[in-house]
Amino acid sequence: MANVVVVGAQWGDEGKGKIVDWLSERADVIARFQGGHNAGHTLVIDGKVYKLHALPSGVVRGGKLSVIGNGVVLDPWHLVDEIETVRAQGVEITPETLKIAENTPLILPIHGELDRARESQNAVAKIGTTGRGIGPAYEDKVGRRSVRVADLADEATLEARVARLLVHHDALRRGLGLPEVDRDALVKALKDIAPKILPYAAPVWKELNDRRRAGQRILFEGAQGALLDVDFGTYPFVTSSNVIAGQAATGTGIGPGAIDFVLGIVKAYTTRVGEGPFPTELFDEDGQRLGEKGHEFGTTTGRKRRCGWFDAVLVRQTCATSGVNGIALTKLDVLDGMETLKICTGYELDGEMLDYLPTAADKQARVKPVYESMKGWSESTAGARSWADLPGEAVKYVRRIEELIRCPVALLSTSPERDDTILVTDPFSD
């Protein structure tokens, strides 16, 4: 049976939540493979709005197994609060429907404190972090000093892990003018939260491989977008994990051969939250209109998103690095009523034409977009469920995007409602 990876192909906020929810009806398992609760997915189901951060989008669908993989960094206190919030909306979450990889690193309160302290004292350039401790938690993972989910089950191990962790963190905190950590209080907090987390702990790698052999379909869900990938994004204005599709394998413990289809989620224009280069950013009425009509505010932070024209160069690049087989194009309806649309087809840098975004930060900041103009449409595309429902100019716009990014459209989303979707290619088809 086909297994599908869903990745954001821009800077995040592409509408992955709705697409994952739409696809989850065809899947048996939905697995988160990277990121933390800095990401936010908004689902609209029968008029009810669900805002998810740590939980996989599949939790709102009954009869599915949701998985938090080892590639995620997990704030256990936030997770418990989020579970209670979703339960209050009528969603049942049990250890039978949600499993957390035992080797998942934990985000502790000291991670958020360090995150915020460093950002506030960064005199060179702010990264634009959410301040929720995701970066410092990944640093500790790589530094081999994390407290992981499995450590909560044994008191001696937990205390040893915390002791090792604080040798590093207390030194950092002294340098930042912060008080040293109250070790006893931190250990007590972890012991208190442990009974609420451990029932969900499981060898997720084994669960996924067993289910794959049994013929079940697995949907791998990423957070953020490929342009925020720590290796292939606009470094250093990136997240602290790998976001591209290859991370689905290492972030859950299933082999890359298990991945049958990579679906890239692409917004019909471009947005970005936080700092960093943005070649097609608009500062005029068109940019303001996109932001207002698209309700471009972050699910997690509420921050206003920067808006710009569609950048085919960047999407073509992320489709290559993630091995995207097809894209889901979202928010086409936001472009309704605009007389002229522009697509970035290349960059000009110091008199030279480029068909990719260079790696060097100074060059990324200096590239100038080369635009191709297209005629817009006055009719509404909102709620369209077939190609015949779309205005001719809208179809031309979509087809031109396919040509420029060298990747076909598999799905077309025309509103936040899950059924307002045009299916071209079913990613789960064998």
Q: Which residues are catalytic?
A: 13, 41
Positive or negative, the Cα torsion across 276, 279, 283, 285? negative
Burial label, 17 (beta-carbon count in 10 A; 0-12, 13-18, 19+) = buried
**CA atoms of 110 and 118, how far apart (whole Å):** 12
Place of tokens 């936040």: 416
**CA atoms of 204 and 152, how far apart (whole Å):** 17
**CA atoms of 4 and 429, how far apart (whole Å):** 10
**Nearest of 348, 340, 400, 346 to residue 373 by alpha carbon:** 340
**CA atoms of 406 and 33, how far apart (whole Å):** 26
Bridge partners, residue 410, by sequence? none
**CA atoms of 12 and 373, how far apart (whole Å):** 25
Bridge partners, residue 205, by sequence? none
- Burial code (b: 16+ CB inside 10 Å, e: under 16) for 94-110 equals eeebbbbbbbbbbbbeb
Residues 6+ apart with CB under 8 A from 49: 42, 43
Place of tokens 């990719």: 356
**CA atoms of 210 and 306, how far apart (whole Å):** 43
**CA atoms of 21 and 52, how far apart (whole Å):** 12
CB atoms < 10 A from the CB of 387, how many?
Answer: 12
- Burial code (b: 16+ CB inside 10 Å, e: under 16) for 115-130 equals bebbeeeeeeeebbbb
